[in-house]
A and B are shown apart, each in its own frame.
Chain A
Amino acid sequence: MPELMSTVDCLHVTIEIGGMPVRVNTTDAGFLGMLEDRYAGFVGSSDHPAVEFDVDLANPESADPNADVRVTQRAGRWTLERGDFHAEWEPALRRGRIRQTANRYSIDAVLRIVHTLVLAQERTGLLLHAASAIRGGKAFLFAGVSGAGKTTISRLAPADATLLTDEISYVRKRDSGYVAFGTPFTGELAKLGENVSAPVSRLYLLAQGPANRIDPVPPGQAARELLANVLFFAEDQELVQRTFHAACEFVERVPVSRLTFVPDARVWEMIG
């Protein structure tokens, strides 16, 4: 007699970024392997994930990853959608569901958005368009829009610097300052950051120019430029306000300078 029922193995991987474990459940071994490979160095073993997602590998209605992201909240349930994924998440239950095809870019986007929402809600940190690296036990951030030099400064980093990311930096408030964590979110360098952390010593706002120099930036200007580099997606007034205050607090606690540099390794003589 043929079996009427078969069990489906539930596979999972825990991805820990910024000290926050996110468990991803799937029934597809190939997808699991892709996640373990994609997030190598960030795979954890926590039994108490902050968030748990079940992934349905299915075609969303459209599969355009260039479509606008929409992040909305209703009655405690967040909806995250882009052309290539649709996700629902209830923070109170710590559970969510993602519908996407088996690709790395969709879940990458969902993870980034979830981290920004958690940090904004708790007002404990920020994700920034910034490269970051540790040198001499201190973390340095290099913020700027596309083309400002994040990849260049990362590529020029000396051997004694540990790259945390060349694209998206993760900072969390700790004691009277901030700690920067490595992230797997990469830019043109396509190299995962190291999964380590260190106290943030300084934020540099990047500019390319004819000579290397460091100039002070007044707090208001620093906040304006920092806010322009904060990753934030939610259509939510309360979280917008929290993120604004989080960025201002960062500027009040962390020295901010403008780093104008020529693209050669000597710029790193000024950092550390």
Chain B
Amino acid sequence: MSRLYVARNTRVAARSLGGEMMIMSGKDSTLFTLNQTATIIWQAADGATPLDEIVERRICPEYDVEPAAALQDAEVLARELAAHGILDVSEDPIRSVNPPVNPSAGDSR
């Protein structure tokens, strides 16, 4: 089974406000508010860390869920975020590497 890599799309603006991760598409000004799982994926989406590692290290300990089920949900979520232009998704590492975001400082400019 191939691994999935995720990277934050640089054409969106993101900011953490009062614990909510807010993202605006630069293309059409659509505003998104991410839920907690999507926020974890967004913050860890550096283009180099495979999604299964993000799930195993960041999501499973947080929610006490089975890795296989959590990965399946995370893949669906990642592809939904990609469809909105928030994430880039690839089966290969993504070159425009973003460093992981510090959860306490979500400002992406």
Binding site for B on A (CB under 8 A): 218-220, 222-224, 227, 232, 237-238, 240-241, 244-245, 248, 251-252
Contacts and interface: CB of A to CB of B under 8 A. Distances in A.
A7 B27 CA distance: 48
Interface string B6-38: 000001110101111010111101010100000
Contacts, number: 50
A254 to B, nearest CB: 13
A69 to B, nearest CB: 14
Contacts of B22: 220, 223-224, 248
B95 interface: no
Given A223-B22, A237-B11, A240-B29, A245 B17 contact: no
A122 to B, nearest CB: 14
A219 B109 contact: no
Interface string B89-109: 000000000000000000101
Contacts of A245: 13, 15, 107, 109
A223 B33 CA distance: 11
A244 B33 contact: no
Contacts of A240: 13, 24-27, 29
A241 B109 contact: yes
A249 B72 CA distance: 36
B26 A241 contact: yes
A38 B17 CA distance: 41
17 contacts: A219-B18, A219-B20, A220-B18, A220-B20, A223-B17, A224-B22, A237-B27, A240-B24, A240-B25, A240-B26, A240-B27, A244-B24, A248-B15, A248-B17, A248-B107, A251-B17, A252-B17
B33 A224 contact: yes
Contacts of A244: 13, 15, 24, 31
A244 B25 CA distance: 9
Contacts of B24: 227, 240-241, 244
B85 to A, nearest CB: 11
B13 A232 contact: no
B17 A232 contact: no
A224 B31 CA distance: 8
A236 to B, nearest CB: 8
Nearest to B18: A219
A222 B20 CA distance: 11
A237 B24 CA distance: 10
A238 B26 contact: yes
B15 A227 contact: no
A222 B33 CA distance: 13
B29 A232 contact: yes
Listed residue (A224, A241, A252) with the most chain B CB atoms within 10 angstroms of its CB: A241
Nearest to B25: A240
Contacts of B13: 240-241, 244-245
Listed residue (B19, B26, B107) with the most chain A CB atoms within 10 angstroms of its CB: B26
B29 A220 contact: no
Interface in B43-81: none
- The 6 closest A-B CB pairs, nearest first, are A237-B26, A219-B18, A220-B20, A241-B13, A244-B24, A219-B17
B103 to A, nearest CB: 15
A188 B17 CA distance: 34
